[in-house]
Structure formats: structure tokens, C-alpha cells
Structure 1
Amino acid sequence: MPLVSPPEGSNLTPAQLALAEALVAAELGLPDLAEQAGVGESGEIGSSGLIALSRPAVSIQSLVVAGAPVIGVLTNPRTIDVSATIRPALTGGLLGTNYAPLPYLVSYTAGWAAGTLPEGIRQAVLLTAQAGAAAAGRVGIKSESMGPVSRSYTDAASTGTLPADARALLRPWLPTRF
């Protein structure tokens, strides 16, 4: 069952919405958009004091840094900031100063329930489903003309990619690069 419902009066089918959700999830690097509690990750925090998550988080259940529970701030769906609560230790001499990485373990809720899906993601799913439905009606057609109006198509939905406007809506949930 798709998380996104078709708008009233729309002819989008549940299968088209499910395919669009799968394409959006793949673009975000996720197996699906559905909520999953207890996702765990571990790694090391460097001098930035930031933890980059592999999935968008909606809440943090627990966060342990160097064996002690700490408080972190979810600054965006894929980044936890712990810089206000921990200070990495310095190692080395004056000219060769480095920060000793601190190990962390985080448990969080990833994905969304139907009523909590962000509007940008919901719109990206609808745009992708509409592009797929439009492409289905013109399979094999790359251009057409009616009187003085000509139109050329690139069927993004049929090639397994998202329309550019849907991709633009997903930017806030894409992985952070450090």
C-alpha cells in the first residue's frame, strides 16, 4: 500500500504510486519510504562534531559517544550535531595537531508513516507518478505535432529515473557530503 494517496479526481493507480515511491526511495538511497524504528549506526566523530546518517531520521532514540549517553541535535534529516556536548581530544604536537575520533552508536527512527511524509517528498512522488502515467500513454512516441504545435518527449519515468522537478524537491533529504 503506497504512503501517498492520489489527489481527488486523479486517475493515478496504486501501482503507479507504488512505483513512483520506489523510484523516490531509490533516489534517496533508501530501501523504501516506510517508517522503521530502531535503525542503528556506529562510527567515529571527528573534529566537526557531526554525525552523518545513512538514512533520513525523524527522531533519535539513543545516542552514545565514547561509551556515555549524550544529547545530539538533528540539524537536518541526515545530520546529528553533537559539537555542543562533546569536545574531541587533541593529539600530537603543536604543528601536527589532530583530533582523536570518538566512537558513537546511534539508534533512530527512519522513514515516515503515511501522515508524516514531508510535503516535498509527497509532491516528488506525485510528480513521478504523473510522469509515469503520461509516459504510459505515449509509449514509443518521441515527438508529435498537432497543427502549429510540436512537442518532443523524454520519458524519464520509463527509463527508471525521476523528472528533474521531482529530483529538485528531494534535495533536503539527500545524503550530506562532508
Structure 2
Amino acid sequence: MANLVEAPAGSPLTAEQLASAEALVAARLGMPEGLAERADVGESGEIGSSGLIALGRPAVSIQSLIVAGAPGIGILKTPWVVDVSGMVRPYLTGGFLGTTYARLPYIVTYTTGWTAEALPEAIKQAVLSVAGELAAQEARGGVTQERMGPVSYTYAAPAVAGLSDAALALLQPWLPLRF
């Protein structure tokens, strides 16, 4: 499969480095099948008093939304959250606090994954940044040498285990929600 992100003109980045970088970014975004794997995903659950639906993967678009058995309208607030707060209505129970929200069942179908043309610029830049880090690591050969006084250590540096802070900052809007 072709990479979504291409190296800029004159760049020494290889297709393998770009593919590895895309895989690292996709895994961090909760898309282990890759950035380019477009799929329609369906999820169901109950909407609570917040009126928000947390999605299992980053969404590109909402295909359908059914709330309490009827078509609903929601706003994709972030790639991970659909706002249906306009459909959640309180009802009085006479309890201590007086207001309770009905938990409404929902079914949502959404599209996840991008095409090369639709991939957000920040994600492209994050992939290029990670590919550059991989290229720099390969150029060093993975060997590091340290010397402290009469003692010298030479060892192989581990492979890039995570993404840099700069790449994570670029990916912030698409990172999975943590509760």
C-alpha cells in the first residue's frame, strides 16, 4: 500500500521510513490498521446527562445517528466526541436534587481513516517529523558511546519507542480521550 505522506522534494526520507512513521502515528491515534484504512464503524451505548458520545476511533464524518429509536442530529465536536446535548432533556423526579436525565440509547455509524488529499496537515507534519527522527537514528547507526574519566561505554541505542513531544503536540486534537 502506498504511503499517505510523501517526502518533500529533495528530502532523503525513504518510503520505508515514511511507512514506519505512519504506522507509529496511526498506532498512537488508536488506528492500528493504519491512517489510510477508511472504514465505516458502528457503535452503540447510552447517552448520559452530558449529552456527549465518546467514540472508539477518531471520526472523519458521521454517517448516521439513531437516538432512542429515532434519527438524531449530532455535532462532531472533536474527532472523538459527538455532541447530542440538544437531544437530552431533563425530567423532574422529586428527588433531593430534583432533576434527572433519561439515559437514551444510541447507535452511531461514522467513517474513520483518511485519503492522501483529506489527511490533516498537522498529521502530515507529525509523520514527517517522526520519519526524520527515524532517519537520524539510522544515520547514527544506533550506536552511542559515552566516556566518563577512564571508563568508556559503547552500546546500541534502542529503537524509537514513542513519539517526540513535537509530534505529540501536532497530533493533540486527534489523540484518544483519557478519562
TM-score after normalising by structure 2: 0.84
Mean alpha-carbon deviation: is it higher for 108-117 or for 83-92?
83-92
Question: How many pairs were matched up?
Answer: 169
Q: Which structure 1 segments of 5+ residues have no match?
A: 145-154
Distance in 2 (alpha carbons) for counterparts of 1:89 and 1:36: 40
Following TM superposition, by how much is the alpha carbon of 1:140 offset from its aligned partner in structure 2, in angstroms? 3.4
Q: After superposition, what is the alpha-carbon deviation per residue over 1:112-138, rounded to whole angstroms, capped at 9, x for unaligned? A: 111110011100000000100110011
CA RMSD of aligned residues (A): 2.3
Q: After superposition, what is the alpha-carbon deviation per residue over 1:23-47, rounded to whole angstroms, capped at 9, x for unaligned? A: 0011111121114232111111100
Distance in 2 (alpha carbons) for counterparts of 1:112 and 1:90: 44
Give the structure 2 partner of residue 22 of structure 1. 23
Distance in 2 (alpha carbons) for counterparts of 1:67 and 1:141: 61
Conservation of the 8 A alpha-carbon contact between 1:91 and 1:100: no
Give the structure 1 partner of residue 80 of structure 2. 78
Give the structure 1 partner of residue 13 of structure 2. 12
> Structure 2 residue aligned with 1:51, among 53, 67, 75?
53
Instruction: Give the secondary structure class of the aligned counterpart of 2:87.
Output: coil
Q: Which amino acid aligns with 1:56?
A: P
Give the structure 2 partner of residue 175 of structure 1. 176
Q: Which structure 2 segments of 5+ residues have no match?
A: 147-156
Conservation of the 8 A alpha-carbon contact between 1:52 and 1:78: yes
Distance in 2 (alpha carbons) for counterparts of 1:118 and 1:42: 27
Conservation of the 8 A alpha-carbon contact between 2:92 and 2:100: yes
Q: Which amino acid aligns with 1:159?
A: V
Instruction: Give the secondary structure class of the aligned counterpart of 1:137.
Output: helix
Q: Which amino acid aligns with 1:136?
A: E
Q: Which amino acid aligns with 2:45?
A: G
Give the structure 2 partner of residue 136 of structure 1. 138
Instruction: Give the secondary structure class of the aligned counterpart of 2:77.
Output: strand
TM-score after normalising by structure 1: 0.85
